Chains A and B, each alone.
Chain A
Amino acid sequence: MSLAKPMVAERLERPVSSRGHSMQIRGLSAYYGAKKAVDGITMDIPANHITALIGPSGCGKSTVIRCLNRMHEVVRGARAEGEVLLDGENIYGPGIDPVQVRRLIGMVFQKPNPFPMMSVYDNVIAGLKLNGRLDKREADAIVERSLRQAALWDEVKDKLQASGAALSGGQQQRLCIARTLAVEPEVILMDEPASALDPISTLKIEDLMQELRERYTIVVVTHNMQQAARVSDFTAFMLAGDDRVGRLVEVGPTDEMFTRPTEKRTEDYITGRFG
């Protein structure tokens, strides 16, 4: 009810320092047409922490993260059931505009996808410009701040007018993160953000995530367990059963999950017995 427009405007004007936004997933199931992909996920995503979703291919972890900002339903025939709460408000509630939800909950994709016909500069402010408002000085400030936050400013400050597609893969991904930061979301979702990158670029993204945790709530999907162990505070382990429907096995602080998991299946997975 209050995620509708007036409330959103109010939230966007709230000072950055008072941020701290948590999410709760309650009985989330996702479908592609008639086929159920994910069943009954219930878990909490604490504010200003990094929550990792891990699990073997096809366990539905990408589907779950796409449900968290209503990107799942962009695919034709896809739909979700259950509740996803942002600071207590159901983003699937009646009257909620998915476009507004995505402004509050940003997303970084597996493959870097800067807009190829836009410059580095225009890529950063794309989300704001496509939504209307922005004067030049304001835009300059947002571009510099976002690129600094994304640890990319020093590398691109002299080629802001070059094509976004001309950067290296790792730079492109950080550009995509800067683009997401520019709209000042409350939560950032990252769907395997480093899986298409080389080890050095991966390290930069991971360092960046640690910095961003100070100001944002982060959810990251990864099939790389070492990465989950390195970067995340909480880890959720998902697995698809024989019916090929993904379910949550367990969720907990990352240290505990990797040292003494409660479930045998989690232990088997993280010790490399399958997957």
Chain B
Amino acid sequence: MEASTVISLTLGKTDTSLKRRKLVDQIFTILVVLSALIGVAILALLLFYIILRGAPALNVAFFTERPLPYGEPGGGVAPAILGTLQMLAVAALLGIPIGLGTGIYLVEFGHGRFAEAIRFTVDLIAGLPSISVGVFVWSLIVRHVIGNFAGLAGAIALAIIMVPIVARTAEEMLRLVPDTLREASLALGVSRRRTILNVVLPTARTGLVTGTVLALARAGGETAPLLLTALGNQFFNFDLLQPMAALPIQIYNYAVGPYEDWHTKAWGASLVLIGVIATLSLLTRWATSRSSFKAR
């Protein structure tokens, strides 16, 4: 009799604690799903609103013509699209190799104090407000090297912003490559250099591309450093040593203006900027995600 009482008591206890745990489990599931929904909803709302406000500005002229003074109907943001693409291209050429090189150094070669110093510096640059980067490039490059506002100065500022992003993501991704793969390659009599180029980098490829795309997107949206370096331009310009238009500057100029038409154009240009960056991301992923299992 006593024994059975004990058992039923124990079972009763287990029963309530199980119910409690199920309840807690459900509450947390709901909370997690809710926060995911909120995050996505805010993004979706943002995108929806930009499309809603920006779409009316879009027409062929918007993509092919230069901006016109207020009062003249029509005009577009073509110089800004081309300027952004040119500066991003130069910034990518400068920033991605340096960033990747830094990441490779930190993982494959760097150790001790020097590597720590580099890692610290990279973090410091990553945390630098972009306007400071603009001021730095303005005082050094614009004033003393080129002598005037120029697209190249803008590209350098964007490259400085890209380097730490590429370097830190590259470092994280290369660290994820298991040492057993490096050892497998070395044990085949493959040199260190070949091992890094042909085994480590391809294994980390997806992550490296993600880091590069993030850096491109970040640089593509920067406004402050460009105001002090590329300045902006109402005309088409393919000379990197002259002031150059960029979408973020164009958005800023339209947005601060007092005219309703300009505000619409600012929304339109925002939509174009999102489109440009999305296209670049997709192109980068497409170009680097071909199957590596093709017969050679």
| Residues of A in contact with B (beta carbons under 8 Å apart) | 69, 71, 74, 76, 99-104, 106-107, 109, 111, 113-119, 121-122, 126-127, 129-131, 136, 139, 161-163, 176, 179-180, 183
Which of B123-131, B189-197, B218-226, B240-248 contacts the other chain? B189-197
Residues of A with C-beta under 8 A to B190: 99, 126-127, 130-131
Residues of B with C-beta under 8 A to A139: 296
Interface string of B173-191 (1 = CB under 8 A from A): 0000010111111111111
Flag if B188 contacts A116 (CB, 8 Å): no
Known: A109-B183, A111-B180. A163 touches B293 (CB 8 A): yes
Residues of A with C-beta under 8 A to B199: 115, 126, 130
The chain B residue sitting closest to A119, CB to CB, is: B293
**Smallest distance from the beta carbon of A112 to chain B beta carbons, Å?**
9
Flag if B189 contacts A113 (CB, 8 Å): no
Flag if B180 contacts A102 (CB, 8 Å): no
The chain A residue sitting closest to B194, CB to CB, is: A130
Residues of A with C-beta under 8 A to B194: 130-131
Pick the residue among A100, A119, A121, A127 that contacts B188 (CB under 8 A): A127
Interface string of B98-126 (1 = CB under 8 A from A): 00000000000001000000000000000
B contact patch SS? helix
Pick the residue among A76, A101, A130, A163 that contacts B185 (CB under 8 A): A130
Flag if B188 contacts A161 (CB, 8 Å): no
- In the bound complex, CA of A113 to CA of B191 (Å): 18
- In the bound complex, CA of A179 to CA of B194 (Å): 16
**Smallest distance from the beta carbon of A209 to chain B beta carbons, Å?**
17
**Smallest distance from the beta carbon of B202 to chain A beta carbons, Å?**
5
Q: Which 7 residue pairs across A and B have the least CB separation, nearest first?
A: A103-B189, A127-B188, A107-B187, A113-B180, A102-B189, A130-B190, A119-B293
Tell me, yes or no, whether B132 is within 8 Å of chain A by CB: no
Flag if B185 contacts A126 (CB, 8 Å): yes
- In the bound complex, CA of A117 to CA of B191 (Å): 19
Tell me, yes or no, whether B237 is within 8 Å of chain A by CB: no
Flag if B293 contacts A131 (CB, 8 Å): no
Flag if A106 contacts B195 (CB, 8 Å): no
Residues of B with C-beta under 8 A to A100: 189
Pick the residue among A69, A104, A109, A183 that contacts B180 (CB under 8 A): A109
- In the bound complex, CA of A11 to CA of B187 (Å): 18
Query: Could you name 26 residue pairs across A and B whose Cβ atoms are closer than 8 Å?
Result: A69-B187, A74-B186, A76-B111, A99-B191, A100-B189, A102-B189, A106-B188, A107-B187, A109-B183, A109-B187, A113-B181, A115-B185, A115-B199, A119-B292, A119-B293, A126-B199, A127-B190, A130-B185, A130-B188, A130-B190, A130-B198, A131-B189, A131-B190, A161-B295, A163-B293, A180-B188
Tell me, yes or no, whether B203 is within 8 Å of chain A by CB: yes
Residues of A with C-beta under 8 A to B181: 113, 115-116
- In the bound complex, CA of A116 to CA of B293 (Å): 10
Q: Please indicate which of the listed interface residues B184, B187, B191, B294 has the most CB atoms of chain A within 10 Å of its own CB.
A: B187
Q: Please indicate which of the listed interface residues B188, B198, B205 has the most CB atoms of chain A within 10 Å of its own CB.
A: B188
Flag if A136 contacts B296 (CB, 8 Å): yes
> With contacts A71-B187, A99-B190, A113-B184 known, what are 17 further pairs, Cβ within 8 A?
A69-B187, A71-B186, A74-B186, A99-B186, A99-B189, A102-B186, A106-B189, A109-B183, A114-B184, A115-B181, A115-B185, A115-B199, A117-B203, A119-B292, A121-B295, A126-B190, A126-B199
